[in-house]
Amino acid sequence: MILTINCGSSSLKYRLFSKDLDKVIASGLIARIGEEGAYCEHQAHERRAQLHQPIPDQDAAFDIMADNLMHSEFAVIENPREISAIGHRAVHGGDVFVESTLVTESVMEQLNSCIRFAPLHNPANIAGIEECQKKFPGIPNVVVFDTAFHQTMPPEAHIYALPYDLYERHGVRRYGFHGTSCRYVAQAAADMLNRPVEDLSMVVCHLGNGVTIDAVKGGKSVDTSLGFGTFCGISMGTRAGDFDPAIIFHLVKELGMSIEEVEAICYKKSGLLGVSGVSNDMREVEQRAAEGDKRCALALEIFVYHIRKMIGSYAAAMNGLDALVFTAGIGENSATVRSKVCAGLGVLGVHIDEGINEIVRDGHPNISAADARVATLVVPTDEERMIAIDTVALVH
């Protein structure tokens, strides 16, 4: 069996797959670790349990996960040895990791050297690997990076026009994120179209709380909307997306804000929440916009306008577009966002069937109209499965 681990600073998500990955045997979420209201949800064999209990730290969370997996009530595994490998999600692999890798001592050292790029996320990812090494000794660990897929971007796409020294000596460049999702979805879209991914130019729109628009040519990421950090590109739930960096100097020098206050604005107080003044949740923003709330309508328009512009620029960067793919919470579920993004992309050959767009959840991944030159698809993402696929490939 293959276990996947997605370890955040206050959460632990796990999934146990059968050896050939055709079944999810168990899955769970342990949330609010080290906080008030900590809880654990565990599901196996159609049985679900939720338990509220104090969970002081990651160590306790991994104990709970191991207990859940070995609990006789759920009959998942009797012995940790039944797990043949563990795959971990890591947010940042810098430019050291261009693909998933088996964990060794030197990989752990290099992972530690990437903490400077993702100080909030990488320490939790590393702690997850160390917990597994401790609790499941002898079982190989694999690490899968959100940044790795984007390492194929050409220099003109990943190097900023800043002093070159910042790039060379300090690693200041575009890294991109959500690579595991984009890679999975690009391959799945090619499979749905029955065409080799190597023959396709596509734009993947990963629209969730975080947003990545990714240009994928021949199965490789050639440009992506997130950059050195995770607030540029498209406006998101609480993150700003692209804006003129001169505003940062203005906020600090003229309005007397501290750099921490500006950082909070960029990451936590902007995007859907900042413009609407109501919510970072697209469902609520859409509903209020439909009821006539002008600021919610504006937040929605800014969101779709950013996406439409990015798709246009990536079609130009790839000199063509064969497929447009929507995924993640908003991409998979919001017919309104898909419709608004695609309206105005007729110039590229994008034309969706509005009727099919509405019922896509009933199993119609291809929402293109009959006369469309570009295939528009809705493809559910599955980062855990991608991690499990890489883990199997590396371990066997």
Task: Report, as residue numbers or ranges, the catalytic residues.
Answer: 146
Within positions 14 to 53, which residues make up the interface with ligand AMP, using CB under 6 A? Answer: none
Asked if 208 touches ligand AMP (CB under 6 A), the answer is yes
Among 90, 321, 330, 342, interactor with ligand AMP by CB under 6 A: 330
Exposure string for 322-356, b = 16+ CB within 10 A, e = fewer: bbbbbbbbbbbbbbbbbebbbeebeebbbbbbeeb
Among 128, 237, 241, 274, interactor with ligand AMP by CB under 6 A: 237
Window of 102-110, 238-246, 296-304, 327-335 that interacts with ligand AMP by CB under 6 A: 327-335
Backbone angles phi, psi at 217, to 5 degrees: -115, 125
Give yes or no for a contact between 382 and 376, defined as CB atoms under 8 angstroms apart: no
> CA-CA distances (angstroms) from residue 354 to 10, 59, 335?
40, 49, 8
**Helices 179-193 and 383-395, axial angle in degrees (round to 10):** 90
Among 209, 232, 248, 369, interactor with ligand AMP by CB under 6 A: 209
> CA-CA distances (angstroms) from residue 217 to 161, 203, 315, 323, 342?
23, 9, 10, 10, 20
Q: Which residue is nearest to ligand AMP (CB)?
A: 329
Q: How far is the CB of 369 from ligand AMP (least distance, A)?
A: 22
Give yes or no for a contact between 177 and 230, defined as CB atoms under 8 angstroms apart: yes
Q: How far is the CB of 360 from ligand AMP (least distance, A)?
A: 11
Asked if 329 touches ligand AMP (CB under 6 A), the answer is yes
Q: How far is the CB of 305 from ligand AMP (least distance, A)?
A: 17
Asked if 361 touches ligand AMP (CB under 6 A), the answer is no
Binding pattern for the stretch 282-321 against ligand AMP, x by CB under 6 A and - elsewhere: xx--x-----------------------------------
- Return the C-alpha torsion angle 271, 318, 355, 307, nearest 10: 10
Among 41, 130, 261, 281, interactor with ligand AMP by CB under 6 A: 281
Binding pattern for the stretch 46-85 against ligand AMP, x by CB under 6 A and - elsewhere: ----------------------------------------
Binding site for ligand AMP (CB under 6 A): 208-209, 237, 281-283, 286, 328-330, 333-334
